[in-house]
Amino acid sequence: MPVSCVTKQVNMLHQKRMRDSQKVLIPLSIVMIFSGIMAFTGAPSSIWGPNSPIFTTTRHHSTGEHILSWRIKTAPLWVYQGLHALPALIWCLLMPLQHVDRFRRHWPAFHRNNGYIVLCGFLVLSITGYWMLNKKVAHTHDDIWHIHNFSGLIPLGWPTFELTLLALEPLYIYTLLRTVQTARARNFNTHGTWAVLHTMVAYTIAVERVSLLISYVLGLALNFFPKKEVYNFFRLEDTLDAKATAEMDLLALMNLVAFALVVCWGIQEWRKTGSSVKTTEFSPALKDRAKQS
């Protein structure tokens, strides 16, 4: 094969490698940073209080306060704040740096060490997150197999917050292992692909937070309609338990929406490359052939 053809193939593979845009990662990280801060301060009751309009908050059944404020009072703080929220804040600050080409090229040691920090940090916060689900200090239905459907308004329904997160875990673990494995094998092109996929999976909760905030805005829009009509439409009684149940339905739905959006995000970025992992893995051989020619 002529040198020009091999070099062109190598360059195309380099240019079309999957990437995570800073325009996406930084806004998602900012949202998660604010969420992480509220793990220490609680949610502002003036915005997300017991008397907030329906679907403009995610209130707990027992107190009506936002679930972030409720969790501070119920979860062990050394777990929730020390091993969950704090690693999440660090992760949100450091993860976007892993996808800056300049750092990878000019400071490979920083990229490598920062990579181990973010991967280990997210593993810790992921484990503590599932621990809180197990200990019932996370906001999800008591029955993991429950189907949410706004009191029968939507017949098909959707799974609980907990079940969706459990379905996400194998993807998270597999992409993490492949990211580490390909890096240690110095197969950097394939490593880049798996690192991008892992990052997308890890940002699912951030996408869920954005989706939930958008749902709060839509909830505000419901204020333009008569309260009685809104409650009748969603088959709600004007009680704390009924409102909290409907908002738990919405939380579970936004988590599923986030899962679907991340899958679409990954497919879109994959299609942009016009290649596959198998093709990418041969790029070192193509480079060797270019040098030998």
Q: Which single residue is written with the structure tokens 């593979």?
A: 13
Three-state SS string over 202-219 comes to HCHHHHHHHHHHHHHHHH
pLDDT of the chain, 293 residues: tens digit per residue: 444 443 344 344 444 667 778 889 999 999 999 999 999 999 999 899 999 999 999 999 999 999 999 999 999 999 999 999 999 999 999 999 999 988 888 999 999 999 999 999 999 999 999 999 999 999 999 999 999 999 999 989 999 999 999 999 999 999 999 999 999 999 988 999 999 999 999 999 999 999 999 999 999 999 999 999 999 999 999 999 999 999 999 999 999 999 999 999 988 888 877 654 444 444 455 445 444 54
Closest CA to 168 of 180, 159, 178: 159
Contact 19, 196 (CB under 8 A): yes
pLDDT, position 269: 84
How far is Cα 26 from Cα 98, in angstroms, rounded to an integer? 12
Q: Phi and psi at residue 56, in whole multiples of 5°?
A: -110, 5
Check: CB of residue 124 under 8 Å from CB of residue 86.
no
Q: Is-contact 199 211, C-beta < 8 A?
A: no
Residues 6+ apart with CB under 8 A from 193: 17, 18, 277, 280
Question: On the CB side of 15, how many CA atoms lie within 13 Å of its CA?
Answer: 7
pLDDT of 275 reads 52
Among 178, 79, 180, smallest CA distance to 132 is for 79
**What are the pLDDT digits (tens) for 5-25?**
433 443 444 446 677 788 899
Express each pLDDT in 275-290 by its tens digit: 544 444 444 554 454 4
